[in-house]
Amino acid sequence: MSTDTRADEGGSLLARPLNWLETQSEEVYAYVLLTPAFALLALVAFYPLIETFRFSLLADAVASADPFGEFIGLGNYVDLLTADTNFTQQFISVTLTDSFPFVAFGAPFLQQAIFVTLAFAILSVLFETTIGFGQALVLDQDFYGRRWVRVSIIIPWAIPIVIQGMIFFLIFNPTIGFGTEFMQWLGVFGNNPLSSSTDSFLIVLVADIWKTTAFMALLILAGLQSIDRGLYDVAEVSGASPWQRFRYITLPLVAPALLVAMLFRTMDAMRIYGLIDATAGCETVPSLTCLVIIALQNSRRWATASAVAFLTAVVISGFVVVYLIALRNSEGGVA
Amino acid sequence: MTDRSTEPGDELTPGADETTLEAAPDGGVADAETVDQPVVNPTADEPDLDRGLIAAWAAKMITNPDRAYRASFYVATIFFLVTTLFPFYWLFVVAVTPRNNLSEVGVFIPAGFNPAAFIEVFTTLPFHRYVFNSFLIATIATVAVLLVGSLAGYVFGRLRFRGRNVMLLLVLVTSFFPPAAFFIPLNRLFNTNVDVLRPLLSAGSLYNTPYAIFIPLSAIFLPLSIFILMTFYSQIPDGLEDAARVEGTTRIGALFRVIVPLSAPGVATAGVLTFISVYNEYFFSSLMTDGRPGSWAPMLEGILRFQGEFEVLYNLMAAASIVAVLPVAILVVVAQEKIVSGLTTGAVKE
């Protein structure tokens, strides 16, 4: 391949670079073809990530034209983590902190945000995995109309986040929705759930489970379908009950796919923003990404926002590392 | 009831643990086809015991656990169908309820019938423009991702070169980071006025242009497409590519004339997933424009705009949501196989 001497029929503007490409080794050819992808990733991901980190080391300059002040090292992080800044009082009302039962009284905003994000990620992934497993087991059967059941299970996954938010915003709207009344009847919700942190957290959780369970179901289904059906026949012949077949064949063999799916979902859940913004609003259920936007838009604290953004990335990377180690231990690694 | 289940269990499964008990009639018999016989016999003397309706049903379930599993399967299927589809139905109920009756809207039946809401959506706001903006952005992003992703997927799937694994890891890592970590510098970048762009863009900056949304989104959804395309491209036999080269196409020509057409399902998969992802995206879509339809604000701004200054138009919000969800719903129905295979290959390949 590298000793190619064929000349392209000239004339077009493309001919020269194409001819040059023909004469290069496979390695050079590979790098050339990768250039556009990496240029795009560099512009949108690598460069901004480094810039975010650099910004986070600068001071806030709320009043001046340039929102960044002088270099202050890790000061923003220290202030954030120890809550020395008046960051807390800036956008969060005291009543909100009172009514939030999960965290300590008067907890700083960042700690609330970290708590909300982690609690949301863990709870949503847990529920989505369980329900998704159920859906996958249903989809794994052969039955009449399976195609349409699959379509209707996938559809929530495919709808825009803003519409997902709208649906749950309307359901739990006190005047028109039925959700508030129902939950009050159960004795869980207050009068206006979308302005109470706890109730909104539950709404956001349910909305997310409704939408993304399908994603888990599809990934688990792929794992299920890769299992050798012969194993089930053997188990049936030797007298295993359906539960035993599930426990000793399905579960261990599907575990690697399950872990990968959970990894994807966890990363995704920790970025939660749009759903909150479209239902309860960022001040009611502060996630980490919400905090970035609040700091940017409400108070023009660009450097603090950068620090929060970078912190979010660090927290997510931490989770990814934990998962990858678990994955390596469980099945001798993937990829 | 209990004696019915223990009776065959005692005879057939000496080494039973707690779970084999209820499965005894099925598990004790070697051939799956003969399972029915021992089940029929115990149920034959059923009337003698004179059970109640529920007790009889329970006994049937115990003597024939397969039946119980099938029943629970149907219950689960119906439960999943109702929970996933009911919110859409209710959205429709809200949409067709006249605005004055909205406080009386029920759970299942609309309070009145006003299909005109679906026309009002377009007259109150230029909602069609918002949807068009979203469509345009999603289409451009899809084309860009497929083009760039094809080149990269080809390289990762078919070529051997130094640094391959490191670069693949780099691509993977970018999909881990939250968009918020990219947003601040990008926002600054797109807001700076670049004089070179002045002839092309009226304001001289990328803010309020489709570029400000589709450039970041293309990059963010690029890794998934690269993984999908890589998988499909690596499955094309080398001989086909070599034959094309012998026939006299260039290297690039071999990629776009042989590899890509042969991997059409993979390309369609990556395209459908990218389109849906970009159309559905919230973070950049809500932050990179000022929300006016003329500024290329996407569909989500349109829906949120129905929370007007004086009155929240709930029924129009619902109607607009239904209108905006139709394109993706149709796409899912048409291309569900592609979506399923795309999501799973993307994940299995890590």
The 10s digit of each residue's pLDDT in B177-218 is: 888 888 888 888 887 776 666 666 666 677 888 888 889 999
Q: Which residue of A has its CA nearest to B73?
A: A138
Mutation choice for A interface testing from B11, B21, B80 by most A CBs within 10 A: B80
User: What number of C-beta contacts closer than 8 Å exist between A and B?
Assistant: 294
- Which residues in chain A are closer than 8 Å to B164, comparing Cβ atoms? 30
In a domain, B288, yes or no: yes
* Helices A302-331/A75-82 angle, 10° precision: 80
- Contact between A131 and A212 under an 8 Å Cβ cutoff? The reply is no
In a domain, B116, yes or no: no
Query: Can you give the residue range of the structural domain that contains B95?
Result: 54-104
- Which residues in chain A are closer than 8 Å to B28, comparing Cβ atoms? 239
CATH topology of domain A84-330: MetI-like fold (1.10.3720)
CB atoms within 10 A of CB B3: 7
Instruction: Indicate if the pLDDT at residue B235 is higher than 50.
Output: yes
**Range of A225-234, A282-291, B113-122, B278-287 with top mean pLDDT:** B278-287
Residue A49 structure tokens: 């990530």
Tell whether B68 lies on the interface with A, counting CB pairs under 8 A: no
Shared domain check, B294 and B163: yes
Shared domain check, B231 and B339: yes
ipTM at complex level: 0.82
Tell whether B159 lies on the interface with A, counting CB pairs under 8 A: yes
Average pLDDT over residues A67-96: 60
Question: Where does residue B132 rank: exposed (0-12), middle (13-18), buried (19+ CB within 10 A)?
Answer: middle
Shared domain check, B242 and B310: yes
Distance CA B266, CA B232 (A): 6
Residue A293: HSE in the Cβ half-sphere, 13 Å Cα cutoff: 23
Shared domain check, B295 and B238: yes
- Which residues in chain A are closer than 8 Å to B333, comparing Cβ atoms? 151
CB atoms within 10 A of CB A333: 11
Please report where in the chains the tokens 């909305």 appear, as a residue.
A207
Predicted pLDDT of residue B274:
92
- Which residues in chain B are closer than 8 Å to A270, comparing Cβ atoms? 178
Closest C-alpha among A214, A187, A285 to residue B81: A214
Distance CA B108, CA A70 (A): 60
Predicted pLDDT of residue A160:
92
Query: Which secondary structure element, helix H or strand E, spans residue B313, and what is its range?
Result: none
Of B76, B226, B333, the CB nearest to A151: B333
Mark yes or no for CB contact A237/B32 under 8 Å: yes
**Phi, then psi, of A70 in degrees rounded to 5:** -80, 170
In a domain, B156, yes or no: yes
The 10s digit of each residue's pLDDT in B9-55 is: 344 444 434 443 344 444 443 444 444 444 444 444 445 556 677 77
Mutation choice for B interface testing from A110, A162, A321, A334 by most B CBs within 10 A: A162
Please report where in the chains the tokens 């905006």 appear, as a residue.
B324
Of B90, B176, B185, the CB nearest to A48: B185
Mark yes or no for CB contact A44/B182 under 8 Å: yes
pTM of the model: 0.81
The 10s digit of each residue's pLDDT in A252-275 is: 888 877 888 888 888 888 889 989
Mark yes or no for CB contact B177/A313 under 8 Å: yes
Mark yes or no for CB contact A170/B317 under 8 Å: yes
**DSSP per-residue string spanning A131-158:** HHHHHHHHHHS--TTHHHHHHHHHHHHH
Number of independent structural domains in chain B: 2
Tell whether B107 lies on the interface with A, counting CB pairs under 8 A: yes
Cβ partners under 8 Å of residue B116, min gap 6: none
CB atoms within 10 A of CB A51: 18
Please report where in the chains the tokens 């939408």 appear, as a residue.
A211
